[in-house]
Chains A and B, each alone.
Chain A
Amino acid sequence: MIFSFQLLFEAILFGILLGCFYAAVSIGLSVAFGLLDVPHVAHPAVLILGAYCTYLLGSYGWDPIVAGLALMPLFFLFGIALYRFYYETFEKRGTDAGVRGLAFFFGIAFIIEVGLILAFGVDQRLVEAEYIGKSLSFGEMRIPLRMLLAFAIALVLTAALTLYLSKTFTGRAIKAVAQDEAALRLMGADPVRIKQWAFGIATGVTALTGALLIIIGPVEPMLDRVYIGRTFCVVVLAGLGSMTGTLAAGLILGISESIVLMHFGASWAPAVAFGLLLVVLGIRPQGLFGR
């Protein structure tokens, strides 16, 4: 084992950047699962879909971030349609909607996987951009630009969603539907439309974070399986529905992984991260920022 304070400092720094990436890819799920209580296990598959759409636009010369932003409205509409279909066929019909919904979203994930295989093949796909493969130097220390981008996107998304959910009428309605759907209905609002809108936002955000995913590394159609555990871990650790909590949970996961990886052995990193989740849930079952 190599130890120096310089290395420890860099491990924390890399952990912060990695944590922001984890938070960014989890934030859509934080809305869909955390706020709306929809068992959206297809979230990582939608993320990969976003990455592939970015790749497709990239092949026409689009910058990945511009592509991600351009895809957001399309994914927003896709999210609305997906929720409506889920609501009409599953949620509306009974008390076991959770279990059947899980099957529904697993089905969606498989359809996306197979669709991507048919459309793009099974090879890894990457994008190219000026900021990929380059870094900022501070003396001995070098920080990858693509990770700085993850940092910036996570901060912007967290701030934007937090402000939207607390300062706008629709945002507050989304929070209200998460807390008490019946009360919202008594106030004259339609909880289904609110949830549909929120699910659209969650899916729209995932287009941009999908672009981030393919900037960070190559993607292949079944990569969603790698992210399913991590994204749910971040959302549950955060406390369901908290955007700032999602950022904090991502940071905790990223920093702990990075320190363990640099100083103790990479094989321990996932075990430590999920061990941390168990400890936190043991002490605070509602998660770090849950109420």
Chain B
Amino acid sequence: MTGIKRRGVLVAGVLALAIGAFASPALAQQPIKIGHSMALTGALGGGGKAALIALQLWVEDVNAKGGLLGRKVELVTYDDQSNPATTPGIYTKLLDVDKVDLLIAPYATVPTAPLMPLVKQRGLLLMGNYSFQVNSRVQHDMWFNNAPWNVAASWSDNFFKAGKKFNAKTVAFLVADQEFAQNLARGAKSIAATQGLKTVYEQNYPPTTVDFSSMIRAIRSAKPDIVYVMSYPNDSVAIVRSVNEIGVGPSVKLIGGGMVGLQFAPVMESLGSMLNGWVNYHTYVPEKSMEFPGVKNFLARYAKKAVEAKVDPLGYYLPPYNYAIGQMLEQAVTATKSLDHKVLAKYIRENEMKTIVGGIRYGKDGEWADARVVMVQFRGVVDKNVEQFRQPGKQVIVEPAAYKTGDVLPFDKARK
């Protein structure tokens, strides 16, 4: 080897060492990637977009504090179009191509269900996002759902508890003919049976139903004390309007229960005073008993972004719980100083998670150990005013006792 060549090799070696020396910290500074799909279009798009804003706010916050383990946090998001057929492919890409460090499940049950075998097989931690009972059969011990419910009955037992006040004897069921609604309705029916309520009307309706006048008329004819409704947003609006137009009769003391959509600002604003008297499930309302540390500040920041993104300006239903997903990951990674999924899952399982939606402890199945689906009654709601819902007293919590801010009133009385 000539002198020149030797020098060349030497320079190359020094350069390689120098690059290596600089590259190592650079690699260490690579962001922690958190991958997920979100329904940004399709039937679940409204909720999905709002949820994404919440996750992005958490990423902003955690990065402002210096990130996790000294690394910035980056969200890798794909639109699953509310379509369960897309999610296995998206998550395979997140894991094998994007090489994400942590995973968050898609929003809602149906897009999440196909992922459960994949994460169990690969031994991955999956933070659930408002899904229902997706882990009941798979029994993956590294699954943690952010939603404040667990078994099917946890959605409706507070509704029927509220009904006890009226000494109800009969019940009518109006349920969307879809798997999720039917599962929840089964839970409601078992509680009704336990309470000795006689079912006087039971109707499953297809999701394409346009007008509910005939069904509401039939319910009025059946004269139930309680009407349990399990519906999706468009149906919920149509049902509330039909009840306002046709009337359910004086026998009905309690109506509502599991109506999806009555938590969303555009729907609440449009229905206005028609909502008065309805008792429905919720996960967060701005009542005194739910003033968890940090939640007000979060909602104020969320509201600004929501207007720009043209999504629900209130954001009570999904967004705080999505921010909570980030907080749980942050707490677990910070405490364990690890990104090992097993280590993180063990920590989340064994410790109370401190979030803006309160403390969360998980049961063996990765659902909340103590469910907290509150039943709220709409009171004193006026027309064309979305801001009124930011005040306490418009959605009074009537159950459970721990969060109660008022007694449930009979339907006709609460409408006056």
Q: Which residues of chain A are near B42, meaning CB under 8 Å?
A: 122, 222
Query: A142 contacts the other chain (Cβ, under 8 Å)?
Result: yes
Shortest C-beta distance, B283 to chain A (Å), equals 18
Q: Which residues of chain A are near B49, meaning CB under 8 Å?
A: 121-122
- Binary interface encoding of chain B residues 207-224 relative to chain A, with 1 for a CB under 8 A from any of its CBs, else 0: 011110111011001100
Q: Of A121, A128, A146, A262, which is within 8 A of B214 by CB?
A: A262
Residue pair A126, B237 in contact (C-beta under 8 Å): yes
Residue pair A128, B211 in contact (C-beta under 8 Å): no
| A124-B261, A134-B245, A144-B245 as given contacts; A266 in contact with B204, CB under 8 Å | yes
Shortest C-beta distance, A233 to chain B (Å), equals 12
| A14-B217, A128-B384 as given contacts; A266 in contact with B234, CB under 8 Å | no
Query: A202 contacts the other chain (Cβ, under 8 Å)?
Result: no
Query: B65 contacts the other chain (Cβ, under 8 Å)?
Result: no
| A217-B234, A266-B206 as given contacts; A121 in contact with B46, CB under 8 Å | yes
Residue pair A18, B210 in contact (C-beta under 8 Å): yes
Residue pair B247, A266 in contact (C-beta under 8 Å): no
CA distance A266 to B178 in the complex (A): 13
CA distance A291 to B89 in the complex (A): 51
Nearest opposing residue in chain A for B249, CB measure:
A140
Residue pair B177, A117 in contact (C-beta under 8 Å): no
Q: Which of B122-130, B250-258, B306-314 faces chain A? A: B306-314
Interface residues of B: mostly helix, strand, loop or mixed? helix
Shortest C-beta distance, A169 to chain B (Å), equals 38
Residue pair B213, A147 in contact (C-beta under 8 Å): yes
Interface centre among A10, A121, A222 (most CB of B within 10 A): A121
Count how many chain B residues have C-beta atoms less than 8 Å from C-beta atoms of the other chain: 49
Shortest C-beta distance, A189 to chain B (Å), equals 40
CA distance A14 to B241 in the complex (A): 15
Shortest C-beta distance, B45 to chain A (Å), equals 3
Q: Which residues of chain B are near A18, meaning CB under 8 Å?
A: 210-211, 213
A-B contact count (CB 8 A): 135
Residue pair B41, A122 in contact (C-beta under 8 Å): yes
Residue pair B270, A14 in contact (C-beta under 8 Å): no
Q: Which residues of chain A are near B247, meaning CB under 8 Å?
A: 142
Count how many chain A residues have C-beta atoms less than 8 Å from C-beta atoms of the other chain: 45
Q: Which residues of chain A are near B177, meaning CB under 8 Å?
A: 266-267
- Binary interface encoding of chain B residues 315-359 relative to chain A, with 1 for a CB under 8 A from any of its CBs, else 0: 000000000000000000000000000000000000000000000
Query: A132 contacts the other chain (Cβ, under 8 Å)?
Result: yes
CA distance A272 to B42 in the complex (A): 28
- Binary interface encoding of chain A residues 221-239 relative to chain B, with 1 for a CB under 8 A from any of its CBs, else 0: 0110010001000000000
Nearest opposing residue in chain B for A132, CB measure:
B241
Query: A258 contacts the other chain (Cβ, under 8 Å)?
Result: yes
Query: A85 contacts the other chain (Cβ, under 8 Å)?
Result: no
CA distance A230 to B49 in the complex (A): 30
Q: Which residues of chain A are near B40, meaning CB under 8 Å?
A: 122
Nearest opposing residue in chain B for A120, CB measure:
B310
Query: A23 contacts the other chain (Cβ, under 8 Å)?
Result: no
Query: A2 contacts the other chain (Cβ, under 8 Å)?
Result: yes
Residue pair B270, A267 in contact (C-beta under 8 Å): no
CA distance A122 to B46 in the complex (A): 5
Query: A270 contacts the other chain (Cβ, under 8 Å)?
Result: yes
Q: Of B205, B213, B246, B310, which is within 8 A of A267 by CB?
A: B205
Shortest C-beta distance, A253 to chain B (Å), equals 11
Interface centre among B209, B214, B217, B312 (most CB of A within 10 A): B214
Query: B400 contacts the other chain (Cβ, under 8 Å)?
Result: no
CA distance A135 to B264 in the complex (A): 26
CA distance A262 to B213 in the complex (A): 9
Query: A125 contacts the other chain (Cβ, under 8 Å)?
Result: yes
Nearest opposing residue in chain B for A113, CB measure:
B41
Nearest opposing residue in chain B for A230, CB measure:
B208
| A18-B211, A226-B208 as given contacts; A262 in contact with B218, CB under 8 Å | yes
- Binary interface encoding of chain A residues 26-47 relative to chain B, with 1 for a CB under 8 A from any of its CBs, else 0: 0000000000000000000000
* Contacting residues of chain A (42-70) with chain B, CB-CB under 8 angstroms: none
* Contacting residues of chain B (168-214) with chain A, CB-CB under 8 angstroms: 177, 201, 203-206, 208-211, 213-214
Nearest opposing residue in chain A for B39, CB measure:
A122
| A7-B218, A126-B237, A142-B247 as given contacts; A217 in contact with B205, CB under 8 Å | no
Q: Of B217, B274, B311, which is within 8 A of A123 by CB?
A: B311
- Binary interface encoding of chain A residues 91-107 relative to chain B, with 1 for a CB under 8 A from any of its CBs, else 0: 00000000000000000
